[in-house]
Amino acid sequence: MTVPKRIGKIKFGLISPQEFRKMSVVKIITADTYDDDGFPIEMGLMDPRLGVIDPGLRCRSCGGRPGECPGHFGHIDLIAPVIHVGFAKIIRKALRGACRECSRLMLLDKEKEMYLQQIRTLERLGQLSDEIVNKVFAEARKHKICPYCGAPQQEIKFERPLSYIEEGHKLTPSDIRDRFEKIPDDDIIIMGMNPATARPEWMILTVLPVPPVTMRPSITLESGQRSEDDLTHKLVDIIRINQRFQENREAGAPQLIIEDLWELLQYHVTTFLDNTVSGVPPARHRSGRPLKTLSQRLKGKEGRFRGSLSGKRVNFSARTVISPDPNLSINEVGVPLEVAMELSVPIVINARNKEAIKVFVRRGPDRHPGVNYVTRADQRRIKITSKNSEEIAEQIDAGWKIDRQLTDGDTVLFNRQPSLHRMSIMAHRVKVMPYKTFRLNPAVCPPYNADFDGDEMNLHVPQTEEARAEAEILMRVQENILSPRFGGPIIGGIHDYVTGSFLLTHGYKPIDREDVMELLKKFPPNEMPEPKGYLEDGEPYWIGKQVFSTVLPKGLNLTFKADFCLNCESCKHEECENDAFVIIRDGQLLKGTIDAEAVGAFKGKITDRVIKEYSPSVASEFLDRMTLLALRGIMYAGFSFGIDDEDIPTDAADQIDETTRTAKENVQRLIEAYKAGELEPLPGRTLDETLEMRIMQTLGKARDNAGQIAGRYLGLDNSGVVMAVSGARGSMLNLTQMAACVGQQSVRGERIRRGYAGRTLPHFRRGDMGAEAHGFVESSYKDGLSPTEFFFHAIGGREGLVDTAIRTSQSGYLQRRLVNALQDLEVKYDGTVQETRGMIVQFKYGEDGVDASRRDYASPDNVKRIIQKILKHGGAKS
Amino acid sequence: MKLSTEEVIERVSILDIPQALKDALVAGLTGQEMTEAQLQEIMDQVVSDYGHSRVEPCEAVGVVAAQSIGEPGTQMTMRTFHYAGVAEINVTLGLPRLIEIVDARKIPSTPTMTLRLAEGYAHDRDLAREVAWAIESTSLLHLGSLATDLAEMNVIIELNSDAMTQRKITAEEVAERLREETGLSVDQRSNTLVMAPEESSYRELLQLVEKIKKISLKGIEGIKRVVIRKEGDEYILYTEGSSLRKVMQFDGVDPTRTKTNNINEIGEVLGIEAARNAIINEATDTLREQGLTVDVRHIMLVADIMTVDGEVKQIGRHGVSGEKASVLARAAFEVTVNHILDAAVRGDVDDLKGVTENVIVGQPIQLGTGDVKLIAKR
């Protein structure tokens, strides 16, 4: 067994000109790229020694083909040194800190010794020495006379972008380089540099590296014209100026021209390194687009670091639209046949599976489940076609590898972006299906935060046994039912699952044998439950609670209040007349109604208990059967919601009109009181604020009252109420708005005030403070809104949209920062939490060492349960 | 047999479980009729369940914590709401407040304090009100009105005697304070004060008005408003503005039960452990107010990483992330180019121990299953 090689460490440093010349494969002297025949010109920017990009050619340096050859650096000898922009600030500090005559760091020996010690200590602790180094420079700068040679120092002014001015003269890069060359090694260390890997004079360039062609490939347009990369363009500029500079200097041109050319060379090198330096106009393409040079390639979200290095592209993945399929298990994912035939799982052939694999290979790539590729023992890959499949099937032997198409039961990873938590990627079992969408059980929507309005999801196929094992043990859906965020289930019934369970289990309606059979059709129990009783004609009947009990595991005991519990002042517990007090004994639902509190996602008391008392597999099976039964239940009861479900009787409508009218009158009265100066301000508020608050209160109450009136006429026979009350979808507020009154529209928590001078719309008088003039919507959605109401509603609605848009970006950035700050933390074997340097962040994780998703086992409640269980069951096990 | 509380405590104390569980055992077992075997079984079961609940070694708890706090962020509101109840102090809540906490801002956007009063003051409405007025910073506008006389080029301050008695300050004291702060002479005629700027110009006059409006005559500077609320049978003061150090020394204030929402201030006044607790409390409150449940352990981890160094550090570029050991990890977060240039000059070495570094070079990360070093023996 081979141990994979690891990169141990990466060292950073500056490259010296000597070293650079050594590693360069060619000195570039001409600015031309290709000759007329389309061949690269020697010693030009596309020199064949720099690597190959054209297919069919070989690299002159390493002999590799395109794709194999990583490319090789060349170099340009700069006629005069130029400053590297990135180091402008450090150069400035070093210039000010070093003596202008003897180049020594202007600190006393004992100070140097002290700072050296501090830097060493920080280094040992693995911390950054920035602060100390800054202090060193600040101290050194204070010396007006060099303590070593006694030379008086001059103030060095720095002018953006790259001028260092001493006594009114600009220091040329050569001057600076000369000074830096003389700085002794010991001083360099105190300046926060490492003389072995980074001498200060190397921050001034004399040799410019020419990146290999592989990182600046030219592309051939349809017209046959070649289009060069931005970097190549920039290099062309640099070489041209370099040549002109040389010619002028050799011809003995006047100092002024030389300086201009030097400046120009500096400009081109600067923009080659970074095209967004402030004070330097960005170099532009002929079309006017700023060039993307070296820094731009690394920076930002799509840059090299975040875009290419931290975010990698993978094979063996698929993406398509998702749609629901309640007949799938929560552990499954429906994969379209087309996708399954493209993705594959590698299988190594051995003596035992050889015959079975022959069958696969023989099927070829066009008949599912076939084989797409075969890898021979000598690592040659052969594509299987319908023509060669028979032939290859006969050749295969132990040690070969096949790429078998995805089939039922394979483990795959399923993911939906944004991947906000670890449950955004879970392992599912494949179920190959017709049509073109991925399908999943709607019960797993909550962890992915998926819906089916066009969402797409990704699927990845693990390619090694290790990856598969990890996926199956740690990432399967059933292992992720409990969220580590709060230790409760985040997988569970949503929408119709909740409605279905509610309709099935609410009340004590008799269900006859045939209907019970129909309900249990999908997972027939071994025997029918005992009938609840017998009808007058002697036929046995059952109730929904009994039917639901068939999905509960044996021995489950649970008591809790359902979601639609009205929170009566004194709870009657078992005697609850709303059937909202759930009692489960030994896996039998005795009393109460199953709703979101019992099986819903995020709440799911039953799911929670089952997974903690039994196991994830039992819980997953429970969820599978519960979802199937719930759908049978909703179908058995019949369920629909239409426009007429928002109808309320006329006298209710009249009452609602009455309440809104009185509310408006009250508002008017408040305004009058305000104008008459009779309004008492609330403590700490101005009179205006008080008025606004009182009006908001009045109108808010009016909406609530309207809702209550409507609610009186909408009972459990209304599907909207069933959904709201069971926690399946929507709320009573939504129903109120649809049936009774939409209510006050607001912007930033206040009534709508903006618009024209003194009024919101020209429809109102100036200074009108009444309800209608500031966005109170009296109508219901069903009645329809008046034009002014509609406009105010749109204002309020827009605020909501803007809010969501801002929030997603803000919370996304918060999440990125949090993850970045915490990602390296790990619980060690001794229970401490440490980061990469070994710094201990917590001595015991969470102060008690308990995993958040299993915190229930370490809760006082659990202790109580244990005591109860053991003491109730009489004697201990002996 | 039946065991007394002391006996149970004695039996339970040797178990290797958190105190909360021991307490639960004591509470549940005291005075219960049971056999020795049952007691043993209960204790065994509790210990075994606790063992089952322990975090597994190599667990990437950091990422889990970050996700657990970041994920509910999408569900939070952006608005600043009033403090529970009507007509009180505005407090930043929701996502902006959470961001503020992890940003470790020097001053939060809405600093507030919650003051509980010392024994003797807490249940007396009048005493509580007196403390409130003593703390609240009083400016001239609280006591009367200001007028500028352009003809005479002076400022005329009319003081209201009711307001002054309420706030326990006299016209003489006001005049004295104004003299102290401005260095100008104040002409006092009973409740009317007259001041003139040094130079008799229109600009100077207006500047003087602005200046004396801001002067805090009495109370603690920066505390703009104090609101009294009765919670239970106790009067509690809520303040707008924060000045923990001064308030804690105030007569009538119980310093042990007084807090501010300014985490840095807590860090300065009470030390880093208090700051850590403040982060935990503030973050928990913010999340709970939004109806989101997040396990404390996650919040603790965030608070701990922010405070390990002994000072409150931000989560982000200028704090935790910016001080990481790895060059590549820092470069991959923000300000990519500068980090690389600095690393080159310093001659840094990246040990490739963290997550991002290993992702960048394309090898398994050293966390979770990647941290288990087992090599199969042939």
CATH number reported for the structural domain that contains residue A377 in this entry: 2.40.40.20
CA distance A256 to A234: 25
Claim to verify: residue A90 and residue A191 sit in the same structural domain: yes
- Amino acid present at B217: L
Angle (CA) A815-A820-A824 rounded to 5° is 130
Q: Does A561 touch chain B (CB under 8 A)?
A: no
Nearest to B52 among A4, A826, A854 (CB): A854
Is A5 a domain residue?
A: no
Place of tokens 């309420």: B166
Mean pLDDT of the A420-431 span:
94
Nearest to A818 among B69, B366, B368 (CB): B69
Claim to verify: residue A760 and residue A857 sit in the same structural domain: no
pLDDT tens per residue across span A199-240 = 888 999 999 999 998 888 888 888 877 788 888 888 988 999
SS3 assignment, position A569: coil
Pairs across A and B, CB distance < 8 A: 363
Mean pLDDT of the A44-51 span:
84
Q: Which has more confidence, A57 or A366? A: A366
Claim to verify: residue A225 and residue A330 sit in the same structural domain: no
Question: Above 90 in pLDDT, residue B376?
Answer: no
Please report the pLDDT score of residue A331 as a whole number. Answer: 93
Categorize the per-residue pLDDT at A424 as very low, low, confident or very high, splitting at 50, 70 and 90: very high
**The last residue of a domain, from among A306, A326, A345:** A306
pLDDT tens per residue across span B277-310 = 999 999 998 898 888 889 999 999 999 999 998 8
Categorize the per-residue pLDDT at A877 as very low, low, confident or very high, splitting at 50, 70 and 90: very low
Claim to verify: residue A295 and residue A326 sit in the same structural domain: no
SS3 assignment, position A514: helix
Q: Which has more confidence, B104 or B80? A: B104
Beta bridge partners of residue A152, listed in sequence order: A145
Question: Above 90 in pLDDT, residue A379?
Answer: no
Please report the pLDDT score of residue B80 as a whole number. Answer: 56
Homologous superfamily (CATH) for B140-214? Aspartate Aminotransferase, domain 1 (3.90.1150.10)
How many helices (H) and strands (E) chain B has is answered by 17, 11
- Max mean pLDDT among A280-284, A584-588, B63-67 falls in B63-67
- Judged by average pLDDT, the poorest of A233-242, A272-281, A586-595, B196-205 is B196-205
Q: Residue A738: which residues within 8 A CB-CB, separation 6 or more?
A: A646, A720, A780, A781, A782
Claim to verify: residue A664 and residue A774 sit in the same structural domain: yes
Chain A residues close to B293, C-beta within 8 Å: 485-486, 488
Claim to verify: residue A91 and residue A164 sit in the same structural domain: yes
Claim to verify: residue A73 and residue A219 sit in the same structural domain: yes
- Minimal-distance CA residue of chain A relative to B317: A817
Question: What is the domain partition of chain B in residue ranges?
Answer: 5-53, 140-214, 324-371
Q: Does B147 touch chain A (CB under 8 A)?
A: no
Claim to verify: residue A633 and residue A651 sit in the same structural domain: no
Is A344 a domain residue?
A: yes
Percent of chain A scoring above 90 in pLDDT: 27
Chain A residues close to B3, C-beta within 8 Å: none
Please report the pLDDT score of residue B85 as a whole number. Answer: 42
Structure tokens at B344: 């080159």
Categorize the per-residue pLDDT at A462 as very low, low, confident or very high, splitting at 50, 70 and 90: very high
How many other CB atoms sit within 10 Å of the CB of residue B264? 17
Question: Above 70 in pLDDT, residue B152?
Answer: yes
B343 and A12 within 8 Å at the Cβ level: the answer is: yes
Cα distance from B202 to chain A (closest Cα, Å)?
31
pLDDT tens per residue across span A713-733 = 888 888 999 999 888 898 888
How many other CB atoms sit within 10 Å of the CB of residue A153? 19
The model's pTM: 0.89
Q: Residue A445: which residues within 8 A CB-CB, separation 6 or more?
A: A324, A451, A494, A601
Domain that holds residue A672: 647-801
B193: left (phi over 0), alpha (psi -120 to 50) or beta: beta
Please report the pLDDT score of residue B82 as a whole number. Answer: 52
Chain B residues close to A295, C-beta within 8 Å: 337
Per the structure, the count of domains in chain A is 6
Mean pLDDT of the A782-795 span:
93
B354 and A836 within 8 Å at the Cβ level: the answer is: yes
Categorize the per-residue pLDDT at A2 as very low, low, confident or very high, splitting at 50, 70 and 90: low
Percent of chain B scoring above 90 in pLDDT: 14
CA distance A53 to A72: 12
Is A65 a domain residue?
A: yes
Claim to verify: residue A422 and residue A536 sit in the same structural domain: no
Is A675 a domain residue?
A: yes
- Minimal-distance CA residue of chain B relative to A197: B347
Please report the pLDDT score of residue A878 as a whole number. Answer: 35
Question: Above 90 in pLDDT, residue B8?
Answer: no
Structure tokens at B200: 């008799």
A299 and B337 within 8 Å at the Cβ level: the answer is: yes
Please report the pLDDT score of residue A38 as a whole number. Answer: 74
Q: Does B227 touch chain A (CB under 8 A)?
A: yes
Chain A residues close to B65, C-beta within 8 Å: 818, 822, 825
Among the four given CATH numbers 3.40.30.10, 1.10.1200.10, 1.10.150.390, 1.10.3720.10, the one describing domain B324-371: 1.10.150.390
Exposure string of A538-561, with b = 16+ CB inside 10 Å and e = fewer, is eeebbbbbbbbbbbbbeebebebb
Structure tokens at A59: 């690299």
Question: Above 80 in pLDDT, residue A619?
Answer: yes
List A residues 241-280 in contact with B (Cβ-Cβ < 8 A).
Answer: 274
Claim to verify: residue A72 and residue A90 sit in the same structural domain: no
CATH number reported for the structural domain that contains residue A242 in this entry: 4.10.860.120
Report the length, in residues, of chain A: 878
A305 and B369 within 8 Å at the Cβ level: the answer is: no
Chain A residues close to B86, C-beta within 8 Å: 682, 693
Please report the pLDDT score of residue B81 as a whole number. Answer: 56
Categorize the per-residue pLDDT at B266 as very low, low, confident or very high, splitting at 50, 70 and 90: very high
The dihedrals phi and psi of B140, each to the nearest 5 degrees, come to -55, -35
Claim to verify: residue A300 and residue A281 sit in the same structural domain: yes
A876 and B37 within 8 Å at the Cβ level: the answer is: yes
CA distance A726 to A730: 10
**The last residue of a domain, from among A278, A306, A334:** A306
Q: Residue B185: which residues within 8 A CB-CB, separation 6 or more?
A: B179, B195, B196
- Judged by average pLDDT, the poorest of A397-411, A523-537, B103-117 is A523-537
Q: Which of B292, B295, B359 to mutate against chain A (most A CBs within 10 Å)?
A: B295
CA distance B355 to B368: 11
| Long-range interactions of B116-119: CB distance < 8 A, separation 24+ | B116/B234, B116/B236, B116/B237, B116/B253, B116/B254, B116/B257, B116/B258, B117/B234, B117/B235, B117/B236, B117/B237, B117/B252, B117/B253, B117/B254, B118/B251, B118/B252, B118/B253, B118/B254, B119/B254
Report the length, in residues, of chain B: 378
Bridge-based pairing state of the strands A219-220 and A226-227: antiparallel
B337 and A298 within 8 Å at the Cβ level: the answer is: yes
Q: Does B271 touch chain A (CB under 8 A)?
A: no
Is A821 a domain residue?
A: no
Bridge-based pairing state of the strands A317-324 and A581-585: unpaired
Percent of chain A scoring above 70 in pLDDT: 99
Claim to verify: residue A130 and residue A221 sit in the same structural domain: no
Burial of A686 (0-12, 13-18, 19+ CB in 10 A): exposed
Question: CA A841 from chain center: how many Å?
Answer: 25
Categorize the per-residue pLDDT at A415 as very low, low, confident or very high, splitting at 50, 70 and 90: very high
Strands (E), A274-331: 317-324
List B residues 31-70 in contact with A (Cβ-Cβ < 8 A).
Answer: 32-35, 37-38, 40-42, 45-46, 49-50, 52-70
Q: Which ranges of chain B would DSSP assign to H, the alpha helix? A: 5-13, 19-29, 36-53, 61-70, 94-103, 125-135, 140-143, 161-166, 171-182, 202-214, 244-248, 263-270, 272-289, 296-307, 327-333, 336-346, 355-361
Question: Above 90 in pLDDT, residue A68?
Answer: no
